[in-house]
Structure 1
Amino acid sequence: MRWLLVLLLLSGAVAVGLRYLPPAWDPRAPLDLTAPPNLLTPLKLAWLRQSPAACRAAFARSGIAFTPLPDRASDAGCALENTLRLPQTPRGIPADPTVTCPLAAAWVLFERNSLQPAASAHLGSGVAAIRHFGTYACRNVNHATAGRRSQHATANAIDVAAFVLRDGREVSVLRDWGGQGDRAAFLRAVRDGACRWFGAVLGPDHNAAHRNHFHLDMGRWQACR
């Protein structure tokens, strides 16, 4: 509700003549993924799910290079649309995975505003790379033989298993989530921070299938577990 109120207030300001709002507060301006977040950031991020052009404009405005990929049809409900290679911002992700543009945008915001600050606060070192289980897999939720398609079926999700710090340490969801020390505190901060940017965040507290990774997606359903 507060996001709608902010949008209405800003729209009203524009209507009465305040036509030169700063880009960060202008609902019409492309999202700058490198700017400090404000109340409009979640609204602009949500809009990227509806507008491929707005999503690409966000990367262009942010000065973040990306490689767009061609759309690919599928008779099995696993079409790829509005996808790109996950940009190599200051961290290494093996295999340059295919992701939807909105997922890539959420990842950039997550890394800059949640992941790296959590690593510095709890472990005294930045994150240099991640270990992941992939993004695209033409399958149903929980690998079931029937039911709805997973967000992985359209490359709209990524499963993160571990984080490699700049000092060489590795923090594993499987090994460190259940601990009591700084590594466990870091992982919980990462999970909570991810919930600011992604639609669904599922981890070890969700079920046994997620005991060894965080599932992050930009689907319609909201979850933080």
Structure 2
Amino acid sequence: MRFPNIIAWLRRLVWLGLIAFALLVGYAWLQPGREDLPWTPLSLTDPIGMATRGKIVELTGQRDQCLALLESSGLEFSPREPFGADQCRVEDAVRATAGQTLLPLAPASVSPSCPMAIGLLLWQAQVVQPQAQAILGSKVTNIETFGSYSCRRMYARDDGPWSEHATADALDVSGFVLADGRRISVLKDWPGDGEGGAERARFLRAVRDGACDLFATTLSPDYNAAHADHLHLDLSNRGAMGWRACR
């Protein structure tokens, strides 16, 4: 009669152990500051987490909050006066000061929205620079772009959804200039041809993949011919689910 009792007690101990383990995991998961949790404030110094992308998107329409966060980063920038009209109205565009290193966009006149600048800051610091050092052995001094704002619909069609470029919530990145003078071009280096081509292509794919964790949409030459010469990054608001497009 004692044997069944021992089995029952062992089962209870196993269940208690599982419950204790679940409580420990839950406690670690719920610690404040985790970027995997959607209700903790966005921090520019924390690692990129599962909720980071959603928090950046939520800054859209929160101009004062976004500018305060951007200012806390140490980035030298100037808020732009609102411009555009209707679907192309932009209230929160910013322009990074030429010559600073935190967000070295080229041309210096490019003015993404404040939330886009937040995403780019994190991308530059936690993805672009580490991957450049690890793969290419040099830091990035310029992120070359085709611009951010363009009052148009997607793919410049006459009808259909408006592009995120219409509100400066997008940026097209065409290449990177390294401290050692090398230029990494999306158009020329994506295939990985020629001397050093494999490393250049690996770098471009690494920064593309890292962008997928920060932006709602990341499109590369792997998507279609229209993106053969750039990486398209944007902050399209896709609702509570926050699904991403990553190609």
Which residue of 213, 226, 238 corresponds with 1:196? 213
Q: For 1:110, give the aligned amino acid.
A: W
Question: Deviations 1:36-79 (Å, cap 9, x if unpaired)?
Answer: 4456644543432352232122123323332111223514x211
Q: In the aligned structure 1, how far is the partner of 2:142 from the partner of 2:235?
A: 22
Q: Distance in 1 between matches of 2:34 and 2:223?
A: 38
Give 1:156 shift. 0.9
Q: Is the 8 A contact 1:92 1:130 kept in 2?
A: yes
User: Aligned in 2, Cα 1:144/1:41: closer, same or farther, shift over 3 Å?
Assistant: closer
Letter in 1 for 2:199: D
1:100 aligns with 2:110: no
Q: Which residue of 2 aligns with 1:3?
A: none
Identity of aligned residues (%): 43
Moved more, 32-41 or 194-203: 32-41
Q: Distance in 1 between matches of 2:36 and 2:236?
A: 26
Q: Which residue of 2 aligns with 1:58?
A: 69
- 1:84 corresponding residue in structure 2: 94
CA positional deviation for 1:28? 7.7
Aligned to 2:184: 171
Paired residues in the alignment total 209
Residues 6-85 of structure 1 mapped to structure 2, 5 A cutoff? 10=30, 31-38=42-49, 41-75=52-86, 77-85=87-95
The 3 A distance-change label for structure 1 pair 68 and 29 is: farther
- 144 and 27 in structure 1: CA distance in 2 versus 1, 3 angstrom threshold: closer
Tell me how far 1:168 sits from its aligned partner.
0.4
CA contact (8 A) 1:69 1:82 kept: yes
Taking structure 1 as reference, are residues 38 and 217 closer, same or farther at Cα in structure 2, changes over 3 Å only? Answer: closer
SS at match of 1:152: helix
In the alignment, which residue of structure 2 is the partner of 1:215? 232
Contact persistence 1:32–1:61 (CA under 8 A): no
Residue 117 of structure 1 pairs with residue 130 of structure 2: yes
* Runs of at least 5 residues in structure 1 that lack an aligned partner in the other structure: 1-5, 14-20
Are the aligned partners of 1:59 and 1:65 in contact in 2 as well (CA < 8 Å)? no
**Structure 2, unpaired ranges of 5+:** 1-25, 239-243
- Contact 1:73–1:79, Cα closer than 8 Å, also in 2: yes
Tell me, in whole angstroms, the C-alpha distance in 2 between the residues paired with 1:37 and 1:90.
17
> Structure 1 207/37 Cα, relative in aligned 2: closer, same or farther at 3 Å?
closer
Amino acid at match of 1:113: Q
Report the RMSD for the aligned CA atoms in angstroms.
2.8
* Greater Cα shift, 205-214 or 60-69: 60-69
TM-score, normalisation: structure 1: 0.81
CA distance in 2, matches of 1:22, 1:184: 35
